[in-house]
Amino acid sequence: MILGKGHASGKVILFGEHAVVYGRPALAVPVTQVRAEAIVEAGSRGEGLVICAEDLDEELPLDGAPADHPLALVARLTLAHLGLKTSPGWRVRIRSTIPIASGLGSGAAVSAAVARALAEAAGRPLAPATLSAIVFEVDKLHHGIPSGIDNSVICYGQPVYFRREHPPQFFPIGQPFMLAIADSGIASPTRAAVADVRRAWESNPSHFEALFDQIAAIVEAARLAIGSGRPEALGPLMDRNHDILREIGVSSPALESLAAAARRAGAGGAKLSGGGRGGNLIALVTRETAGRVDAALRAAGAANVILTTVEPTDGS
Q: Report yes or no: 188 and 276 within 8 Å, Cβ to Cβ.
A: yes
From 16-24, 214-222, 225-233, 262-270, span contacting ligand PMV (CB under 6 A): 16-24
Q: Report yes or no: 122 and 82 within 8 Å, Cβ to Cβ.
A: yes
Residue 270, exposed/middle/buried by CB under 10 A (0-12, 13-18, 19+)?
Answer: buried
Residue 8 contacts ligand PMV per CB under 6 A: no
Whole-angstrom CA distances from 13 to 41, 46, 59, 191 are 34, 43, 31, 16
For 121, the 3-state DSSP assignment is: helix
The site map against ligand PMV for 76-105 (x = CB under 6 A) is ---------------------------x-x
CB of 43 to ligand PMV, least distance (A): 32
Exactly one of 8, 13, 109, 118 binds ligand PMV (CB under 6 A); that residue is: 13
From 10-18, 67-75, 215-223, 261-269, span contacting ligand PMV (CB under 6 A): 10-18
Q: 278 forms bridges with which residues in the sheet?
A: none
Exactly one of 4, 70, 157, 274 binds ligand PMV (CB under 6 A); that residue is: 274
Q: How many CB atoms lie within 10 A of CB 131?
A: 24
Residue 277 contacts ligand PMV per CB under 6 A: no
CA-closest candidate to residue 178, choices 254, 38, 77, 291: 291
Exactly one of 4, 9, 15, 17 binds ligand PMV (CB under 6 A); that residue is: 17
Exactly one of 37, 120, 150, 239 binds ligand PMV (CB under 6 A); that residue is: 150
CA-closest candidate to residue 29, choices 113, 131, 104, 111: 104
Residue 151 contacts ligand PMV per CB under 6 A: no
User: How far is the C-alpha of 174 from the C-alpha of 261, rounded, in Å?
Assistant: 28
Q: Report yes or no: 35 and 44 within 8 Å, Cβ to Cβ.
A: no
DSSP state of 249: T
Nearer to ligand PMV, 17 or 120 (CB): 17
From 11-19, 41-49, 83-91, 151-159, span contacting ligand PMV (CB under 6 A): 11-19
For ligand PMV, the binding residues in 100-139 under the rule CB under 6 A are: 103, 105
Exactly one of 39, 110, 181, 194 binds ligand PMV (CB under 6 A); that residue is: 194
Nearer to ligand PMV, 13 or 135 (CB): 13
Please tell me the count of residues contacting ligand PMV according to CB under 6 A: 17
User: How far is the C-alpha of 40 from the C-alpha of 121, rounded, in Å?
Assistant: 7
CA-closest candidate to residue 22, choices 301, 209, 262: 209
Whole-angstrom CA distances from 141 to 2, 70, 189 are 29, 7, 11
Exactly one of 146, 168, 231, 278 binds ligand PMV (CB under 6 A); that residue is: 146
From 29-37, 41-49, 144-152, 262-270, span contacting ligand PMV (CB under 6 A): 144-152
Q: Give the residue at shortest CB distance from ligand PMV.
A: 274
- Which H helix or E strand runs over 306? strand 304-310
Nearer to ligand PMV, 25 or 279 (CB): 279
The footprint of ligand PMV (CB under 6 A) covers 13, 17-18, 20-21, 103, 105, 143, 146-147, 149-150, 190, 194, 274-275, 279
